[in-house]
Structures are given as structure tokens and as C-alpha cells.
């Protein structure tokens, strides 16, 4: 659904320690392509959690890929997830966490609770290379194309601080993904917006942390 989810996932998991048999939550998995990849590549169990995509449709894709014994499609809203605290060894999220996770309480009150101590949390979100707080911060050509949802795009420094200040996790790494712009341009996403981005504002942010 998002731009090149598998490429983003590989970039993320290269920096994480995923081992056979782990229990992983794929938060905002969309069409569960990333969940299927994780099960096949790492032989882990994956809870493929999404809101907009029907889990029955995802189950079909999961079965066609032969991983229905390891990938479990679930429909649940990010603030009412049906999992026990400490259930997961890791949580990953590709191009979804910005829809709910910029809110101050989300990490502390919801996400981090689901991972066991020493477990990993890794996200990739679309972001920006400098903070945009209002229209005055916008580069010229983007002013007319900017929409309110794009204010959820933040810098990697913003995301790092967003989790770090909660004291629930140690930040392992926070950075932008190399060649983000190329990746984006090679997908079906909004090319008009990207073409207007003459200052290379748009990027992908990768954040990895370990639960204390
Ligand atoms: C752009 S899609 C990305 C899907 C997939 N991870 C990918 O990279 O192709 C964002 C996903 O976030 C999920 N999402 C957005 N808001 C959500 C919420 N409040 N609770 C759970 N999932 C949510 C949507 O269901 C959607 O599938």
C-alpha cells in the first residue's frame, strides 16, 4: 500500500535481531505483505494487525503464501489492541505508525507495553529532513500542495526524542533511510508532491529501540 514496503522492511530488520520462533507484531500491516515476508525470511510468528484492510482478505494472501501456520491476520484499532502486555518479542511497523503514533501518550500507554523487557521496537515512517510546524516553514513549491496529514511527517531527531523522553526504551538507532527519495519515486505514490520537493524535504525515518 505504501511505497516499497518490503524494501523498507529489509532496511529495518537488517538493524534488528529477529530470531526463529519469535512473536512479532506487524502494526498497520496493510495487505500483510511484510508479515508474510517476515514469516518466510526469519521463521517467526507474526500477528498481522491492520484497520483498513479486511483480515479475511489478508488470510487469503497468507494461505496462498503457505504461511497460515505462522501469520495471524487481526483487525484492531491501534488504541484497542487485543494482546496481553509483554506478549511480543518485537514490534515492527512500516509506513503506518505516523497515523496514530505522533500522539504524546501512544508509545507509553499502548505500544511499548505489548513488548517484553529486552524486546525490540522498530518503525519506518515517512518523514522530513527539517521540522515543518506551520505554513511559514514550507519550501515555496510545496506550499500549495501541502495537506494537514503531512504534519505527521517529522524528522528522525523528533522521533528519537518522542520515544526517548518516555524512559520506557533505549534508543538503538534513529536515522533516515538512504535513497529515500528514489524509493518513493519508484512507487505509485504522489509524484506531484515529490516533484515539487526541490529541497529534498521528504525522506523515510527509521527508529529502533529496546524495551527496558
Ligand atoms: C499506508 S498503509 C501501510 C500498510 C503497510 N504497512 C505497507 O507498508 O504497505 C497504513 C496502514 O496503517 C493502518 N492504520 C492507520 N491507522 C490505524 C489505526 N488507528 N489503527 C490500526 N491501524 C491503522 C491502516 O489500516 C493502513 O493499512
Report if residue 32 sits inside a domain: yes
Q: Is the residue at 142 inside a domain?
A: no
Check if 53 has its Cβ closer than 6 Å to any atom of ligand 1.
yes
More confident site: 109 or 188: 109
Task: Using most ligand atoms within 8 A of CB, pick from 9, 99, 190 the residue to mutate for ligand 1.
Answer: 99
Give the pairing of strands 202-211 and 115-128: antiparallel
Q: Which of 25, 31, 51 to mutate for ligand 1's pocket (most ligand atoms within 8 Å of CB)?
A: 51
- Would residue 190 count as lying in a domain? no
Q: Which domain holds residue 162?
A: 5-131+151-179+202-211
Q: Give the pLDDT confidence score for residue 107 in this predicted structure.
A: 98
**140 within domain boundaries:** no
36 lines ligand 1 (CB under 6 A): no
Domain assignment present for 186: no
Find the radius of gyration of the CA atoms of the chain.
Answer: 17
User: What is the share, in percent, of the chain residues with pLDDT greater than 70?
Assistant: 99
User: Reduced to 3 states, what is the DSSP secondary structure of residue 97?
Assistant: helix
Q: Is 134 helix (H, G, I), strand (E, B) or coil?
A: coil
Q: Is 187 inside any structural domain?
A: no
Residue 193 domain-assigned? no
Ligand 1 mean position, distance from CA 197 (Å): 24
- Total domains in the chain come to 1
Structural domain contains residue 113: yes
Question: What DSSP line would sit under 24-43, residue for residue?
Answer: EEEET-TTSHHHHHHHHHH-
**Which CATH number is 38's domain given?**
3.40.50.150
Overall average pLDDT of the 120-127 stretch: 97
CB burial of residue 113 (10 Å; 0-12, 13-18, 19+):
middle
**Is residue 103 over pLDDT 90?**
yes
Q: What is the pTM of this model?
A: 0.96
Amino acid at each position: 500500500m505504501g511505497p516499497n514496503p518490503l524494501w523498507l522492511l529489509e532496511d529495518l530488520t537488517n538493524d534488528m535481531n529477529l530470531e526463529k520462533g519469535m512473536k512479532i507484531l506487524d502494526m498497520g500491516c496493510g495487505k500483510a505483505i511484510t508479515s508474510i515476508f517476515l514469516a518466510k525470511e526469519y521463521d517467526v510468528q507474526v500477528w498481522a494487525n491492520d484497520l483498513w484492510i479486511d483480515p479475511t482478505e489478508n488470510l487469503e494472501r497468507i494461505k496462498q503464501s503457505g504461511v497460515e501456520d505462522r501469520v495471524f491476520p487481526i483487525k484492531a484499532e491501534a488504541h484497542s489492541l487485543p494482546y496481553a502486555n509483554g506478549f511480543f518479542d518485537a514490534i515492527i511497523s512500516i509506513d503506518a505508525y505516523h497515523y496514530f503514533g505522533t500522539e504524546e501518550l501512544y508509545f507509553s500507554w499502548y505500544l511499548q507495553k505489548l513488548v517484553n523487557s529486552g524486546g525490540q521496537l522498530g518503525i519506518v515512517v515517512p518523514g522530513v529532513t527539517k521540522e515543518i510546524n506551520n505554513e511559514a516553514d514550507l519550501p515555496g513549491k510545496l506550499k500549495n500542495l501541502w495537506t494537514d496529514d503531512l504534519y505527521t511527517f517529522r524528522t528522525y531527531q523528533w522521533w528519537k526524542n518522542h520515544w526517548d523522553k518516555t524512559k520506557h526504551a533505549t534508543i538503538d538507532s534513529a536515522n533516515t533511510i538512504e535513497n529515500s527519495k528514489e524509493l518513493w519515486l519508484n512507487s505509485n505514490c504522489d509524484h506531484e508532491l515529490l516533484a515539487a520537493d526541490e529541497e529534498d524535504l521528504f525522506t523515510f525515518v527509521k527508529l529502533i529501540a529496546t524495551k527496558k
